[in-house]
Structure 1
Amino acid sequence: MNVLLTGSNGYIGRRLKQKLIEKEDINLRLFVRDKKILSSKKHKNIEVVEGDTFDKEKLKIALKDIDIAYYLVHSLNNENYKELDKISAQNFIDIAKECGVKRVIYLGGLGVKNENTSEHLLSRLETGEILSSRKEVQNIWIRAGVIIGSGSTSFEIIRNLTEKLPIMTTPKWVETKAQPIGVDDVIAYLLESLYIKEKDNLVVDIGSEQLTYKEMMLQSAKALGLKRVIIPLPFLTINISSYWLNLFTPVPFGVAKALIEGLKSEVIIQNDNAKKYYPNIIPTKFIDAVKQAVVVIQQNQVISRWSDNLGKDWNKDHSKEIADAIFLDRKEFDISNIPKEKVYASFISIGGKNGWFEFDFLWEIRGFIDKMIGGVGLKRGRRDQYNLRIGDSLDFWKVVDIKKNERLLLFAQMKLPGRAWLEFKIKDNKLIQTAYYYPKGLFGRIYWYSLVPIHYFVFKNMISNIVKKAKSS
């Protein structure tokens, strides 16, 4: 069986890819925007095609000789994502038909079209309809609502609110019903969809027990061993609620607003096809899914996070832009008496719970300001406290290049009047730490000059503490 996986670097895609790699009865092909994100060691026996769903010629290469294709693509990071999603889905199903693909498996959102349907959910529903429009290609449309697992958007929000707020004032929509599902169960349905005997299009609604969002938060508190009080207030608007989530959770304002808008609609199962066609899958209860997610985080085994593909322009070649940077802050430190492996381990452990050394409070202030103006802030933390990979979020940075025992390059995703990078590089027995900045207009230059005194202390302290940590390890 020849299988194509799109979206393999996303939250669900990474986890599904890991399972597909283990299957001996399929030949796996990945369709990715950027090959460098993939580990050469893990993907050496997998065919990879580089491109995107807006390039029909690349799609033809990706879908050639494919039996079954997974469609895990969305354009939510773009302002006009609804139109882009339509174009993407139409291109994909048209080329799938042309290439003789037998089945497309799509993971979409649970819900129905009505006056309360959010723009985001509406887009997911329309994508499913487009993928079901070619009778020559069967579409198995898996529809899930709130996905609970380590690193999922829903879980991160619920966990952060529950841990940080003993008393929560919430909008009236917390009484809306939903049917959450554990991420492992989602993967199980997607995998089993390879082997379904049904030949016609199939819509499969998946989920565990029906719960209100209030009940989810209370059950999460119980799973975490906490007692919480929730007070719904009818006057909390979408914008106020979005700022509330933006402040107390890792998600930025845009994502928070899309999620809050979705709370107005019930996301409950509309058919029994999950039981009929997938009788061996029994969804995990919500509270158990929360407990499992917590264990994975505690064991530092998080495979993927909601923010893996968040943000524009991070997954491209940054070398030219860095070369064009107008402002630099470069520090060097002699490390000839320290194994470079230890120095590397020291600088890739920076950020998240590990902090940014002695001036953490300054980073916290910058992160808070970023949150207040709609940025990502510092609360995203790290997926793994010891290791990094390309695409990982690191507080308000993104890992755009990493070479073992040699280099780490971070791209700034905070709100800035320009573009910024932070690089750690081992070369000629020296650790070279460089902040690059390309300003936008006059304000961009004022911004840089105003921070020069702070940069002097922060960056000088940073490199010396990286070396100090390496020496003591």
Structure 2
Amino acid sequence: MTPSPTVLVTGATGFVGRRLVPALVDSGHRVKAMTRHPETYDGPGEPVFGDVHDPGTLADALTDVNVAIYLVHSLDDDDFERKDADAARGFGLAAAANGVRQLVYLGGLGAEDETLSPHLRSRREVEQLLGEGGVPVTALRAAIVVGAGGISWEMTRRLVKNLPAMVVPRWAATLTQPIAIDDVVRYLAGVVDNDRAVGRVLEIGGADQLTYLEMLQQAAREMHGRRLPILQAPVGTPVLSSWWITLVTGVDTTTAANLIESMGNKVVVTDPAIRSIVPGEPMTYADAVRQALAEG
């Protein structure tokens, strides 16, 4: 019987990582949870120190690792494209030097022939740079991830909670395919050491394709049991939108601006190949919202 691989999860204390580590442990994997503060880590797995922005710290974390899952990005930094590119290149080279056989990365949806926002363009660049050292990369591309504590969901929740009505910019008409955090975790765990997924780009999404306006309305129905009065404005810049969201929700202005600029890109699944590799029906947006609300 082939032994279960040892898996390193970067960003182990983050929104996705803190849910993924327990799922991998439950699946029988030995898991190394990488964090800059292992002394305070209280989750499952083996805490290990590592900082993707300091490649010299990665060798110990990657020792004896078969699969490494990369869940790091720097949206709260004005220079996030350069920082994320440097980190991805360094991590990929360190993974190769330590004999890692698969890298798994959670990136972003978006058509290759479309002008991508800086956020989505950076996600695509990270996919490529992770593989420069020669380790095959499995890239899972997703749109908005819905779950308690996720920045995109928290923006939605606070907007709906704090405003009795709202005027939304034109990006609210863009089509997207939100996905529940549980489905993201299921797909990430499902591609680990899976020969059918190694070296591939796979698109993941929930059951529904919705505009951002429809997402706000569905969230309002789940939260308040009523329709939220929304007027769509014909104009709206990312800068003005980010100021508005920061004012209403308290989300960091830099993060809000970087996310909002991506909302002009249509982000939906066009290739359902993941469904045959990791079987199971994804949740609807309404179910994902109900679960996020139940978790707080």
TM-score with structure 1 length normalisation?
0.58
Shift of 1:162: 1.8
2:58 is aligned to: 59
| Residue of structure 2 in register with 1:5 after alignment | 9
Q: Which runs of 5+ in 1 are unaligned?
A: 298-473
Residue in structure 1 matched with residue 30 of structure 2 by the alignment? 27
Instruction: Please report how far the alpha carbon of residue 165 of structure 1 lies from its aligned counterpart in structure 2 after TM superposition.
Output: 2.2
Unpaired segments of 5 or more residues in structure 2?
none
The answer for the alignment partner of 2:169 in structure 1 is 171
**1:93-143 deviation per Cα after TM superposition (whole angstroms, max 9, x unaligned):** 1121121111111111111356642211111110011123444x2211111
Structure 2 CA distance for partners of 1:55 and 1:164, relative to 1, 3 Å: closer
The aligned residue for residue 156 of structure 1 is 154
CA shift in 2, pair 1:83/1:287, >3 Å = same
| Equivalent-residue separation in structure 1 for 2:48 and 2:31 (angstroms) | 11
Structure 1 residue 276 displacement after superposition? 2.6
- Write out aligned runs for 1:182-201 (5 A): 182-198=180-196, 200-201=198-199
Match of 2:39 in 1: 36
Q: CA deviation at 1:199?
A: 6.5
Q: Deviations over 1:182-210 (max 9, x none)?
A: 01110110111124222641111111221
Change (3 A) 1:88 1:158: same
Rounded to whole Å, the distance in 2 between the matches of 1:53 and 1:237 is 33
Larger radius of gyration: 1
Identity %: 35
Matches within 5 A, 1:122-271: 122-135=121-134, 137-198=135-196, 200-208=198-206, 209-224=208-223, 225-271=225-271
1:27-59 CA deviation, whole Å, 9 max, x = no partner?
1112221223312xx45xx43332312333321
* C-alpha contact (below 8 Å) 2:77/2:255 kept by paired residues: no
Considering only aligned residues, what root-mean-square deviation do their CA atoms show, in Å? 1.8
Q: What's the counterpart of residue 310 of structure 1?
A: none
Q: Secondary structure at the match of 1:132?
A: helix
Q: Deviations over 1:39-92 (max 9, x none)?
A: 2xx45xx43332312333321221122111111112333332211111111111
**Alignment partner of 1:236: what SS?**
coil
Separation in structure 1 between the aligned mates of residue 17 and residue 145 of structure 2, nearest angstrom:
14
In the alignment, the residues of structure 2 paired with residue 173 and residue 111 of structure 1 have an alpha-carbon distance, to the nearest angstrom, of 15
Greater shift, 147-156 or 176-185, is seen at 147-156
Post-superposition CA distance 1:351-385 (Å, at most 9, x none)? xxxxxxxxxxxxxxxxxxxxxxxxxxxxxxxxxxx
Taking the aligned partners of 2:76 and 2:165, their CA distance within structure 1 comes to 32
Q: Output the amino acid matched with 2:169.
A: P
Any idea what the Cα deviations from partners look like across 1:420-454, whole Å, max 9, x if unmatched?
xxxxxxxxxxxxxxxxxxxxxxxxxxxxxxxxxxx
- The one-letter amino acid paired with 2:229 is V
- Displacement of 1:17: 1.7
Q: Secondary structure at the match of 1:266?
A: coil
Tell me, yes or no, if the aligned pair for 1:6 and 1:30 is still in contact at 8 Å.
yes
Amino acid at match of 1:229: P
Higher relative contact order, structure no. (Cα contacts within 8 Å, ≥ 6 residues apart): 2
Matches within 5 A, 1:229-378: 229-278=229-278, 280-297=279-296
TM-score of the pair, normalised by structure 2: 0.91
**Count, aligned residues:** 290
Residues in 1 aligned to 2:79 and 2:112: alpha-carbon distance in whole angstroms: 20
Amino acid across the alignment from 2:106: L
Quote the Cα distance in structure 2 between the aligned partners of 1:183 and 1:276: 19
**Separation in structure 1 between the aligned mates of residue 197 and residue 108 of structure 2, nearest angstrom:** 22
Tell me, yes or no, if the aligned pair for 2:102 and 2:136 is still in contact at 8 Å: yes
